Amino acid sequence: MHADLDRRDACAVLRAHALATPAAQALVFVADPEAEPDGRSWTYGELDERARAIAVALRARLPRGSRVLLLFPQGGEAVHAFAGCLYAGMVAVFAPAGGRYRHERARVRVIARDARVGVVLTDSASRASVAELLADQGMTDLDVLAVDDIADGADDWAEPDVDRSAPALLQYTSGSTSDPKGVLVTHGNLLANAQDMVDVLGLPDRARLGGWSPLYHDMGLMGQVTPPLFLGGACVLMAPMAFLKRPHLWLRLIDRHDLYMSAAPNFAYELCVRRIADEHIAGLDLSRWHLACNGSEPVHIPTMRAFAERFAAFGLQPHAMTPCYGLAEATVLVSGTRDRAYAVCSVDRDALRRNEFTPASGPDAQPLASCGVTGGLTVRIADPVTLRPLGAGEIGEVLLRGQSIAQGYWENPAATAEVFDVSTSDGEGGFLRTGDLGVLHEGELYITGRLKEMLIVHGRNLYPQDIEQELRAQHAPLAGLTGAVFAVADEGVAEPAVTVVHEIRGRFTDAEHDALAAQMRQTVAREFGVAVADVVFVRPGTVLRTTSGKVQRVAMRQAYLTGGLAPVRAGATALAG
What whole-number distance in Å separates Cα of residue 270 and Cα of residue 265? 9
Helix or strand or coil: residue 393?
coil
Same domain, 111 and 194: yes
- The answer as to whether 221 is a domain residue is yes
CATH of the domain at 393: 2.30.38.10
Give the pLDDT confidence score for residue 494 in this predicted structure: 45
Q: Tell me which residue of 228, 248, 229, 230 sits closest to 238, measured CA to CA.
A: 248
Question: What's the CA gap between 290 and 556, in Å, rounded?
Answer: 36
DSSP structure class, residue 228:
H
The contacts of residue 553 (CB under 8 Å, 6+ apart) are 450, 453, 464, 484, 485, 486
Looking at residue 476, which CATH number applies to its domain? Answer: 3.30.300.30
> How many domains does the chain divide into?
3
**Alpha carbons 173 and 190: distance in angstroms, whole number:** 17
Containing structural domain, residue 352? 343-450
Q: Name the nearest CA neighbour of 543 among 92, 103, 22, 223.
A: 103
Tell whether 275 is covered by a domain: no
Mark which of 208, 241, 274 sits at the end of a domain: 241
Please tell me the distance from the alpha carbon of residue 272 to that of residue 467, in angstroms, as a whole number.
22
The count of other CB atoms within 10 Å of the CB of residue 178 is 8
Give the C-alpha separation, 248 to 245, whole Å.
9
* Selection from 570, 502, 486 nearest residue 539 by Cα: 502
Q: Decide if 396 is inside a domain.
A: yes
Burial environment of residue 38 by CB neighbours within 10 A (0 to 12, 13 to 18, 19 or more):
exposed
* CA pair distance 170, 182, nearest whole angstrom: 5
Mean residue pLDDT of the chain comes to 91
Q: Are residues 487 and 434 in the same domain?
A: no
Q: Do both 169 and 75 map to the same domain? A: yes
Decide if 568 contacts 504 (C-beta within 8 A). Answer: yes
**Would you give the DSSP letter of residue 411?**
T
**pLDDT, position 174:** 57
Domain stops at, among 450, 470, 494:
450
**Could you tell me the CATH number of the domain that includes residue 225?**
3.40.50.12780
Residue 493: per-residue pLDDT: 46
Cα–Cα distance, 395 to 352 (Å, whole number)? 9
| β-pair type (396-401, 378-382) | antiparallel
The reply to whether 317 falls in a domain is no
For residues 401 and 471, membership in a common domain is answered with: no
Asked if 432 and 465 sit in the same domain, the reply is no
Tens of pLDDT along the chain (577 residues) come to 788 899 999 999 999 999 999 999 999 999 999 989 999 999 999 999 999 999 999 999 999 999 999 999 999 999 999 999 999 999 999 998 867 666 678 889 999 999 999 999 999 999 999 999 999 999 999 999 999 999 899 999 999 999 999 999 999 975 444 567 899 999 999 999 999 999 999 999 999 999 999 999 899 999 999 999 999 999 999 999 999 999 999 999 999 999 999 999 888 998 999 999 999 999 999 999 999 999 877 788 988 999 999 999 999 999 999 999 999 999 999 999 988 889 999 999 888 877 789 999 988 898 999 999 999 999 999 999 899 999 888 999 999 999 999 999 999 999 999 999 999 999 999 999 999 999 999 999 999 887 777 776 765 667 788 899 899 989 999 998 999 999 886 544 445 789 999 999 988 888 999 999 999 999 999 888 889 999 999 999 899 887 667 788 888 988 898 888 989 865 433 332 2
On whether the CB atoms of residues 311 and 286 are closer than 8 A, the answer is: yes
Tell whether 434 and 460 lie within a shared domain. Answer: no
* Rounded Cα distance, 9 and 186, in Å: 9
Cα four-point dihedral sign 113, 117, 119, 123: negative
Task: Give residue 550's pLDDT.
Answer: 77
Same structural domain, 102 and 168: yes
In DSSP notation, 460-525 reads: EEE-HHHHHHHHHHH-GGGTTS-EEEEEEPPTT-SSPEEEEEEE--S---HHHHHHHHHHHHHHHH
Which one-letter DSSP state was computed for residue 146? E
The answer to the question of residue 280 being in a domain is no
84 with 172, same domain: the answer is yes
Residue 355 domain flag = yes
- Domain-terminating residue out of 241, 266, 299: 241
For residues 145 and 49, membership in a common domain is answered with yes
How far apart, in whole angstroms, are the C-alpha atoms of residue 264 and residue 289?
13
Residues 438 and 476 placed together within one structural domain of the fold: no
> Is residue 337 domain-resident?
no
**Whether residue 437 is found in the same domain as residue 502:** no
Tell me which H or E stretch contains 457.
Answer: strand 455-457
The answer to whether 189 touches 215, Cβ cutoff 8 Å, is no
Provide the greatest CA pair distance for the chain.
Answer: 74
Q: What share of the chain is helix, strand, coil (3-state, %, to 5)?
A: 35, 25, 40
Asked whether residue 422 falls in the same domain as residue 550, the answer is: no
Distance in angstroms (rounded) separating the CA atoms of residues 571 and 517 = 6
Measured from the Cβ of residue 527, the count of other Cβ atoms closer than 10 Å reads 14
Which candidate, 554, 465, 538, 469, places its Cα nearest to that of 502?
538
The answer to whether residue 216 sits within a structural domain is: yes
